[in-house]
Amino acid sequence: MSNAKWRQLFSVVNESNLTLAHCVWKLIGGDEPKHGFVPGYDSLGENYVGDCGALNRPFEYKVIEWLLIPYKIGFCRNEPAPIQCKTQELSHVIELLNSLGQFELETNENGIKIYGYKP
């Protein structure tokens, strides 16, 4: 996917008023997906994503294999406490992305997966 399309995608997600902007990044060459957050406008460069928690450093759009915006996010406030879940309402984001119709995406029980490169 082109740099311009990634920037457009992040603009749509930011404009959707998503209250929990958690996401999972899978980068080309990386073994495991990385947890982070959807970058704000100030973190988007012409050809790179600024720090978004996935690598703790900027990276180029071209290395994004896919991005998952999950419905549920599990977290633990402190070590002995049980894991709690928060949910993200994604129906508005899905509507907006489908209306543009230029993204390779799939929705399933986990959330919205947007592909930069589909294997």
Taking alpha carbons only, the member of 35, 37, 34, 45 closest to residue 7 is 45
Q: How far apart are CA 4 and CA 24, in angstroms?
A: 20
Q: How far apart are CA 113 and CA 23, in angstroms?
A: 10
* Domain count across the chain: 1
- Sign (positive or negative) of CA dihedral 87, 20, 34, 76: negative
Q: How many C-beta neighbours within 10 Å does residue 23 have?
A: 26
Tens of pLDDT, residue by residue over 75-117, are: 656 677 677 778 888 888 888 888 887 888 899 999 999 999 8
Residue 7 main-chain phi, psi, to 5 deg:
-60, -40
Tens of pLDDT, residue by residue over 8-66, are: 888 888 887 766 678 899 999 888 999 888 888 888 999 999 888 877 889 999 999 99
Across 11-22, b (16+ Cβ under 10 Å) vs e yields: ebbeebebeebb
Q: At what angle do helices 91-100 and 3-15 cross, to 10 degrees?
A: 140
The residue segments making up the domain with residue 28 are 3-115
